[in-house]
Structure 1
Amino acid sequence: MNFDNDNSRKKKWGLLVTGVVGGTLVALYAVATPFITPALRKICLPFVPATSTQIENVLKMLQCRNGSLVDIGSGDGRIVIAAAKEGFRAVGYELNPWLVWYSRYCAWREGVHHDAKFYISDLWKVRFSQYTNVVIFGVPQLMPQLEKKLEDELEHDARVIACRFPFPHWMPDYTTAEIPNRSYHFFVLKMLVDTEKGRLTLFNMCLHDVQQDTGIRNQLTQSGFYNLS
């Protein structure tokens, strides 16, 4: 009799352990899949959170602007939430559902959920003609196709802020730089004139590490930028 009871307990424990392990694996798969599958796409746009410095510089490029803003590949929603706090009607498009749900929670927590919206969507399925301000933290292989899409869809007074990597064909007509915190990091910010559609403003923001690079410092100084030390 005791032998039968022991076997019954072992079976129950075995089923319990199997259920716990199986449930854990399913949960891990559900959470990890949205983060892993982008790497399997032809164009991978990985999730890299924007730093506070990057957010500050994006907001600087939006000074004296208003209206609607879209963050293409909004990640955890930092840019969209920051823009909403500045009065923009901000929208983020992101493929990862976990990041979208987290972004919605953060927007609610920050009290800007009415002006910060997040949607699960492929950027190629979205029309951007309704937006007057565009932010993109892209990758090199994405920029040529995105350049064509934005050129076809944006209005003439749109402003595009491209962070980390430039667009391949849009030629800038304005460049400025800053060296924050005496660390010799600088941002190059470029503005584009599109002669076919009117004026399309592009701020191409690239971060370069030039610590102690006197050659870069001399070039900036000769271009009219001072107080770089």
Structure 2
Amino acid sequence: MCDLGLELEKGAAQEESSSRSIKKRVGLIATCALGGSLVALYAGAGPFVAPALRKICLPFVPATNTQVKNVLSVLQSRSGTLVDIGSGDGRIVIAAAREGFRSVGIELNPWLVWYSRYKAWRQGVHRHTSFYISDLWKVSFSQYSNVVIFGVPQMMEQLEAKLQAELESPARVVACRFPFPTWTPDHVTGEGIDTVWVYDAKTFKSHTTTAKLLNSSEDKNHL
């Protein structure tokens, strides 16, 4: 009986040890699987959330459906070419193409550009859209009649000066999320993060010309 009891205790101990070993292996496998999933998720999402414009850190934040709707509403009476500066996943460009614009997206992140091209193809507007991997500060916007920008405050002053110098008078600029620092908007639509500010080039160019004439007149009077 003693021998039998010892054997039973020994068997129970071995079974418990084996159970602990199995649980340990299962836990290790689960941990590795979770870690691998997180790495895969980061690798997949990383290119999409990386800064799209190197001069100013501008991470990819998709436009909301309301923002897209507001942009299209202020461009209803417009036609011609449209450029989305920092076009992200291409949703503004694709939506504008559906409304009859010849639409272009400027984006520094190649992953987003390739994804946008794929989306445009899937949605049947690839013949009316173009997406370029480019730094906005190295591109001229003089050929566009409509400009859309989802910017951040740190870049708006520099971009304002660039567009001021390059755009022709018939052009229209639509700023989303943040307004330009010195321009007075011709129209404002939406509220909160969905607000869009509309600037007609003929307005901000005429204000600049008037300011230059006044400054020139003051300088002459001082002389």
Instruction: Please classify the TM superposition score into its range, dividing by the shorter chain length.
Output: 0.5 to 0.7
For residue 143 of structure 2, what is the amino acid of its counterpart? Q
Structure 1 length-normalised TM: 0.65
CA offset digits 1:117-174 (Å, max 9, x no partner): 10111111111001000000000001011001101111111000000001111123x4
- Alpha-carbon shift at residue 43 of structure 1 (Å): 1.0
Higher relative contact order (CA 8 A, sep 6+): 2
| Residues 1:49 and 1:37: Cα distance change in structure 2 (over 3 Å) | closer
Q: Aligned residue for 1:75?
A: 88
Q: Which residue, out of 108, 116, 121, partners 1:108?
A: 121
Structure 1: gaps of 5 or more residues? 1-23, 199-229
Q: 1:55, 1:82 within 8 Å by CA — same for their partners in 2?
A: yes
Query: How many residues in Structure 1 have an aligned counterpart in Structure 2?
Result: 170
Say if 1:45 and 1:139, in contact at 8 Å, map to a contact too.
yes
Change over 3 Å in CA distance of 1:34–1:155 after alignment to 2 = same
Contact 2:53 2:107 in 1 (8 A): no
Q: Secondary structure at the match of 2:183?
A: coil
Provide the C-alpha distance between the structure 2 equivalents of 1:128 and 1:40, rounded to a whole number of angstroms.
16
SS of aligned partner of 1:49: coil
CA distance in 2, matches of 1:176, 1:82: 20
Q: Residues 176 and 153 from structure 1, CA distance in 2 versus in 1: closer, same or farther, beyond 3 angstroms? A: closer
Separation of aligned partners in 1, 2:50 and 2:98: 32
Matched, 1:123 2:121: no
Change (3 A) 1:175 1:113: closer
Q: Which residue of 1 aligns with 2:109?
A: 96
Q: Deviations over 1:63-115 (max 9, x none)?
A: 11110000000000000000000000000011111111110011001110010
Q: Which aligned segments of 4 or more residues in structure 1 are displaced greater than 3 angstroms?
A: 26-37, 39-42, 174-179, 184-192
Distance 2:99 2:53 in 1: 36
Equivalence map 1:1-229=2 (5 Å): 34-35=47-48, 38=51, 41-172=54-185, 174-177=186-189, 187=195, 189-192=197-200, 193-194=203-204, 195=206
Q: CA RMSD in A?
A: 3.1
Tell me which structure has the larger Cα radius of gyration: 2
In structure 2, the CA distance between the partners of 1:28 and 1:121, relative to structure 1 (3 Å rule), is farther
Distance 1:176 1:137 in 2: 15
Return the TM-score normalized by structure 2: 0.67
The letter of the residue matching 2:156 is: M
In structure 1, how many angstroms separate the alpha carbons of the residues matched to 2:57 and 2:108? Answer: 11
Q: Name the CA shift for 1:142/1:114 in 2 (closer, same or farther; >3 Å).
A: same
Q: Flag the 1:129–1:42 CA change in 2: closer, same or farther, 3 A.
A: closer
